[in-house]
Structure 1
Amino acid sequence: MHQLGSQLLWLAGNSGLRLEEVLAESIGAVAAMHRDACDLDHPGSPCSTVAMVRCAGSALEYLVLSDSVIALDRVNGEPVVIQDKSVDGFASDNARAASSGRDKSDKSALFTLIREQQQVRNRPGGYWVAQVDPSAADHAMSGFVEEVRGAALLSDGAALLVTDFRAMDWPALLTFAYEQGPSALIAATREFEDRDPDGSIWPRYKHRDDATAVVCRL
């Protein structure tokens, strides 16, 4: 994912391409680097969600692909929250049942979920991630928002305080992130995860999810 990130940063800052085009070009470039040495047709090939913002005159351009979240803090009005929930529809009843009340050492729910998602990833009727197919960028959520004074770009695991734990709303999360920073935001998320390691209060597939957060003021 480091290679994809480097490509995204370079193209977003050094080309006139729209963010969808930046993403498509970057996916294609990284896939080309590995085509001769890796089995890119394997459904388990490395993949990533993507969240990007870029200043565009008086507006902020954004892009979200898969289950990351962008919360845009507007000068006037409520935050604009961009979240792709398409992946949420691809967890079977069996995987959900295995997750409910599971033992901490039981990884069957997570393995079941991964296998099922691999079968519908980057396919019509499924959901889309940054993997090896540049056309995934066509399925990203993107656009422009005026009068934005800040933003939080979050992996789904860093958005849990709002999306799952209901410990705060989006304005409160933005305020907390501005004042305390992304490390404190993730630490607060870990505290809630540790209160419920088995997922009995807040059902989920992992005790702790991967969490990445970027906070910016404009």
Structure 2
Amino acid sequence: MRTETCGLGPYRADLVETYWRWEQDPALLVGYGRQAPESLEARTEGMAHQLRGENIRFTIYDLSGDEPAPAGVATLLPDHSVRTAEFVIMLGPEVRGRGLGTAATRLTLDYAFHVTALRMVWLKVLAPNAGAIRAYEKAGFQQVGPIRQAGYWLGRVCDEIVMDALATEFTGPSAITSTVATQEATPDPARLS
């Protein structure tokens, strides 16, 4: 799945060191509310578990250059019994602020609603992270409300904001439905004979 500037591809074991490097970035640690770095060895061990799990993980690619470049990870943590999922995204520091997070979030929602048939996707974001909140809103999420004093931002207690996106409200261009419509409109030469 792709747009002109962003693509989603498989989560890859050979990129574990790249994922780990992004996860150690102080801005990401603050945004997730996690205070402790992780060793590469522990991250590599965790990767094996992640590759076997039921979660849906994508490598985000920056398509603005000559070659696709890994730029982050988007994850859906599904609850199949109620057809919902939590969304988590991580971008490398070198690509933040260019709209790639919004594009990747929108592509992930497109996949969630049109491929896995989820009815709702939700996330939590620390309230002081205004840039992330704006990006999520541009991608189709709406604020539901705060979880009071549930997180930490730069060592201070803060609220977490719950946001959600509903399949019934997901509008605009779809990379999936437009691809399927194009394939359906193109006759199969084997059928014509």
Q: TM-score, normalised by structure 2?
A: 0.24
Higher relative CO (Cα under 8 Å, sequence separation at least 6) belongs to 1
Larger relative strand fraction: 2
